[in-house]
Amino acid sequence: MGYSIKTIAQKTGLSQYTLRYYEREGVLPEVSRDANGNRCFHDEDLELLSLIRCLKDTGMPIAEIKQFITLSREGREALSEQCKLLEAHKRQIEEKIQFFQSFAQKIDHKIAYFNSLEQEAKAEMK
Partner DNA sequence: GGTTGACTTACAGTTAGCTCTAAGGTCTAC
Partner DNA sequence: GTAGACCTTAGAGCTAACTGTAAGTCAACC
Compare residues 18 and 82 and give the one whose CB is closer to DNA.
18
| Maximum separation of any 2 CA atoms in the chain, in Å | 79
Nearer to DNA by Cβ, of 16 and 82: the residue is: 16
By a kind-dependent CB cut-off of 5 to 8 A, residue 7 interacts, out of DNA, a second copy, none, with DNA
Which bin fits 21, alpha (ψ -120 to 50), beta or left (φ > 0)? Answer: alpha
- Nearest by Cα to 27 from 58, 3, 51, 44: 51
What does 67 bind: a second copy, DNA, none (CB cut-off 5 to 8 Å by kind)?
A: none
Which does residue 13 touch among DNA, a second copy, none (CB within 5 to 8 A, set by kind)? Answer: none
Site for a second copy in 35-64 (CB under 8 A): 51, 54-55, 57-58
Distance of alpha carbon 13 from its chain centroid, rounded? Answer: 12
